[in-house]
A = this chain, B = another copy of it.
Amino acid sequence: MKIPAVKGTRDFYPPQMAVRNYLVDGWKAVSLRNGFEEYDGPIFEHLKMYQIKSGEEIASQLFSFTDRGGRDMAIRPEITPTLARMVNQQINALPRPIKWFSVPRLCRAERPQKGRLREFFQWNIDIIDVEDVLADAEVIFTAIDYLRSTGLTAADIAVRISSRRMLAALLRSAGIEQDQLDGVYAVLDKKAKLPDEAFEAMLTERIGDETVRRRVAELMAAETIEAIENTAHLDAEGAAAVGELRRLFDLLSLMGIGEFAVFDIGVVRGLAYYTGVVFEVYDRAATLRAVCGGGRYDNLLRDFGGPAVTATGFGMGDAVLEILLREKGLLTDSTLSTRNVDCFVAIVADEFRDRAIELVFRVRRAGACAEFSYKAAGLKKQLKQAQALNARYTVIVGEEFSENRLTVKNMATGEQELMAVEQCIESLLA
């Protein structure tokens, strides 16, 4: 019986796994040097958790099921609700501020397409209980710090930044009611992703009044923070939001990543829970989906039954990132090794086989990687095997082994040397 692979998911054969490990290891290292601690939750959660604040798009893409106890569950499509649940559970015991990261496996029942898969990995960074925009700057820095570590520069990518808080003030001044805001955000978030006509139709559906709609369109055409200050009727709340945004750009310069930062009022984010600064990282050519997106979500913990504690963070998926790195020539399969063989133990004749096996496993017990051929083969064939495994050395077990000596061949230089067994093991571990 033949079983097909699962639609929209990936099989990670060793070369693909090496790519995934390269991305994940980089995420982890940058998280740690920026002072974040790792956490994780279960792969599935109660379905209703994703029906509260995840936004319509995610809620419509859940892999859900009913467990034996009759409970409705869903495979996690994002980890932020889990984060909110976990923090709320331990809110009185956890030292604050909380700086956490995670690299969850997530599933969404989307139509598979370039950069969008039904199963993917997403780096998440969050700072909880720091109201200061300094925390927003820090999460943006962390995203850029990682992307720079892969070799990407400000010529390749930019972080486009706006503020939901500012946008809310602007939309209210244009005549949008408070309870319409979430719906309007969802549509505005689609602007760059839809053909103009489709976007107009969606916007018209949400905003019936043509005057209001025209005012919103004018607002969304602002190209700089100055333009907003000059044209819009900002109330005190709006002015405070603009001030915060200015401070954010100053901080990013101070942190040494100013050249990556761009103001873009068109960045709205689809998720319902954002309340302040929002941002997305794009390739400068903007041919791909966002590499990374995030922002401030000050009400989520409260919405999940916890105290009113502020939060800010982002998510970066592996799919678009991998495409971008490959396009820029920063990721090639051949640069990533799937194994690290220190020595291949070649056996000259069958009488030495058990001695060779003994040696292989002695080397491994000592902490180095040794390989050998399961089948008897000529020395030439074994040297080829050693080469295929990319072994640093080949150790040849022959007549000299009775005198406790081995021939050691350096596979890079081709040099051969007769060595005592102990000396050989020591130099492999060095």
Query: Interface on A for B, CB 8 Å cutoff?
Result: 1-7, 9-14, 17-18, 20-21, 32-46, 48-49, 52, 63-65, 67-69, 71, 73, 75, 81-82, 85-86, 88-90, 94-95, 97, 100, 105, 107, 109, 119, 130, 132, 134-135, 141, 145, 148, 251, 254-256, 303-305, 338-341, 354, 357-358, 361-362, 364-365, 367-371, 374-375, 388-389
Contacts and interface: CB of A to CB of B under 8 A. Distances in A.
Contacts of A75: 43-44, 75
B12 A41 contact: yes
Contact of A369 (B34, B85, B100, B370): B34
B145 A364 contact: yes
A116 to B, nearest CB: 15
Contacts of A12: 38-41
Contacts of A37: 14, 17, 338-339
A-B residue pairs, 10 tightest by C-beta: A65-B65, A2-B305, A9-B42, A255-B361, A14-B37, A12-B40, A33-B369, A37-B338, A17-B38, A35-B371
Given A11-B89, A36-B339, A256-B361, 4 more contacts: A3-B46, A3-B81, A132-B374, A254-B358
Contact of A6 (B73, B100, B141): B73
A1 B306 CA distance: 8
A25 to B, nearest CB: 11
The listed residue with most B CB atoms (<10 A of its CB), out of A18, A63, A304, is A63
Contacts of A71: 7
Contact of A69 (B2, B7, B41, B368): B7
15 contacts: A2-B88, A3-B48, A3-B49, A6-B45, A6-B46, A6-B73, A7-B71, A12-B39, A12-B41, A34-B364, A36-B339, A37-B339, A43-B43, A105-B105, A134-B357
A428 to B, nearest CB: 11
A111 to B, nearest CB: 10
A44 B364 CA distance: 35
A256 B119 CA distance: 43
A170 to B, nearest CB: 28
